[in-house]
Amino acid sequence: MERQQTSNEPVIEYEREPVPEHAQLGVKSFLGQYAGEHIAGTELMIGPLFVVHGVSAKDIILGLIVGNLLAVLSWTFMTAPIATRVRLTLYYQLEKICGRSLVTIYDITNGAMFTLLAGAMISVSTTVIGSCLNIPMPGLYDRYPNSIVWVVSILIVGALFSIIAAYGYKSLARFANIAAPWMILMFVAFAVIGLKLLGMNSIKDFWNIAENCIWKGGAPLPGQSKFTFWHIMFFAWFCNVAWHIGMADLSVLRYAKKPWYGIASAAGMYIGHFMAWLSAGILYAYQLKQDPSNINVLPGPLAERACGVAGLLCVIIAGWTTANPTLYRAGLAFQAIFPKSSRFKVTLIVGAVATVSGMFPGIVMKLLDFVALWGMILMPMGAVVFVDYYIIPKLGLRPYYAEYAKINFNLAPAIAWIVTVVVSSALVLSGQIEIFFVSLPGWFLTALLYIVGSYILQKKAKETVLVNV
Amino acid sequence: MRILTKIISGIAIVGLLCAPLLFYNDRISQIQTNNILLISSILWFLSAPFWMGVKSKE
pLDDT one-digit tens code per residue, A283-298 = 999 999 999 999 999 9
User: Could you read off the pLDDT of A259-268 as tens digits, one per residue?
Assistant: 999 999 999 9
Q: What pLDDT is recorded for position A136?
A: 83
Span A130-147, average pLDDT: 85
Task: Judge contact between A24 and A258, C-beta under 8 A.
Answer: no
Q: What pLDDT is recorded for position B57?
A: 52
Q: What pLDDT is recorded for position A71?
A: 97
> Which range (A38-42, A68-72, A153-157, A268-272) has the least confidence?
A38-42
**Residue A372 main-chain phi, psi, to 5 deg:** -65, -40
pLDDT at A387 over 80: yes
Which site among B41, B52, B55 would you substitute to test the A interface, given the most A Cβ atoms closer than 10 Å to its Cβ?
A: B41
Span A158-169, average pLDDT: 84
Question: Which residues share a beta bridge with A388?
Answer: none
Span A71-83, average pLDDT: 97
> Which range (A131-140, A246-255, A308-317) has the least confidence?
A131-140
Residue A333 makes CB contacts below 8 A (sequence gap 6+) with: A107, A108, A110, A111, A114
Closest residue of A to B52, CA-based? Answer: A178
Residue-level length of chain A: 469
Tell me the C-alpha to C-alpha distance, in Å, between residue A36 and each of A7, A76, A231, A400, B28.
Answer: 9, 18, 25, 34, 30
User: Could you read off the pLDDT of A446-467 as tens digits, one per residue?
Assistant: 999 999 999 999 998 888 776 7
Q: What pLDDT is recorded for position A4?
A: 37
Q: What pLDDT is recorded for position B55?
A: 65
Task: Judge contact between A348 and A355, C-beta under 8 A.
Answer: no
User: Could you read off the pLDDT of A5-45 as tens digits, one per residue?
Assistant: 344 444 456 778 899 999 899 998 888 888 877 888 889 99
Span A302-329, average pLDDT: 89
User: Could you read off the pLDDT of A398-456 as tens digits, one per residue?
Assistant: 999 999 999 999 999 999 999 999 999 999 999 999 999 999 999 999 999 999 999 99
Kindly tell me the burial class for residue A467, based on how many C-beta atoms sit within 10 Å of its own C-beta (0-12, 13-18, 19 or more).
exposed
> Which range (A132-146, A240-254, A355-369, A382-396) has the least confidence?
A132-146
User: Could you read off the pLDDT of B1-58 as tens digits, one per residue?
Assistant: 889 999 999 999 999 999 999 999 999 999 999 999 999 999 999 999 999 877 665 4
Tell me the C-alpha to C-alpha distance, in Å, between residue A269 and each of A35, A115, A182.
Answer: 8, 23, 17
Taking the C-alpha atoms of residue B10 and residue B48, their distance in angstroms, rounded to an integer, is: 9
Q: The whole model's pTM is what?
A: 0.90
Indicate the residue type of A131. Answer: S
Contacts of B19 in chain A (CB under 8 A): 189
Q: How far is A145 from chain B (nearest CA, A)?
A: 32
Residue A311 makes CB contacts below 8 A (sequence gap 6+) with: A186, A190, A302, A303, A304, A305, B34, B37
Taking the C-alpha atoms of residue A436 and residue A53, their distance in angstroms, rounded to an integer, is: 13
Q: Are A5 and B44 an interchain contact pair (Cβ–Cβ within 8 Å)? A: no
Span A233-238, average pLDDT: 96
Torsion of CA A267, A365, A228, A237, to 10 degrees: -30
Taking the C-alpha atoms of residue A268 and residue A270, their distance in angstroms, rounded to an integer, is: 6
A177, A195, A308 member nearest B53 (Cβ): A177
Any CB–CB contact under 8 A between A192 and chain B? yes
Q: What pLDDT is recorded for position A3?
A: 36
Q: How far is A211 from chain B (nearest CA, A)?
A: 20
Taking the C-alpha atoms of residue A88 and residue A94, their distance in angstroms, rounded to an integer, is: 10
Q: Are B16 and A182 an interchain contact pair (Cβ–Cβ within 8 Å)? A: yes
Residue-level length of chain B: 58
3-state SS, residue A391: coil
Higher pLDDT, A114 or A396: A396
How much is the ipTM here?
0.95
Residue B13 makes CB contacts below 8 A (sequence gap 6+) with: A181, A185, B40, B44
Q: Residue A168: pLDDT band by 50, 70, 90 thresholds?
A: low
Contacts of A195 in chain B (CB under 8 A): 24
Task: Judge contact between B48 and B13, C-beta under 8 A.
Answer: no
Q: What pLDDT is recorded for position A304?
A: 94
Residue A36: half-sphere exposure toward Cβ, Cα within 13 Å? 25
Which site among B9, B37, B45, B51 would you substitute to test the A interface, given the most A Cβ atoms closer than 10 Å to its Cβ?
A: B37
Q: Are B21 and A192 an interchain contact pair (Cβ–Cβ within 8 Å)? A: yes
Contacts of A192 in chain B (CB under 8 A): 20-21, 23-24
User: Could you read off the pLDDT of A52-63 as tens digits, one per residue?
Assistant: 999 999 999 999
In chain A, % of residues over pLDDT 70: 96
Task: Judge contact between A48 and A305, C-beta under 8 A.
Answer: no
3-state SS, residue A256: strand
Q: Are B44 and A182 an interchain contact pair (Cβ–Cβ within 8 Å)? A: yes
3-state SS, residue A56: strand
Q: Are A5 and B53 an interchain contact pair (Cβ–Cβ within 8 Å)? A: yes
Taking the C-alpha atoms of residue A250 and residue A91, their distance in angstroms, rounded to an integer, is: 9
Instruction: Report which of A403, A346, A399 is spatially closest to residue A100, judged by C-alpha positions.
Output: A403
Q: Write the DSSP symbol of residue A275.
A: I
List residues of chain B with CB under 8 Å from any CB of chain A: 12-13, 16-17, 19-21, 23-24, 30-31, 33-35, 37-38, 40-41, 44-45, 48-49, 52-55
Taking the C-alpha atoms of residue A352 and residue A358, their distance in angstroms, rounded to an integer, is: 10
Instruction: Report which of A37, A38, A45 is spatially closest to residue A302, judged by C-alpha positions.
Output: A45
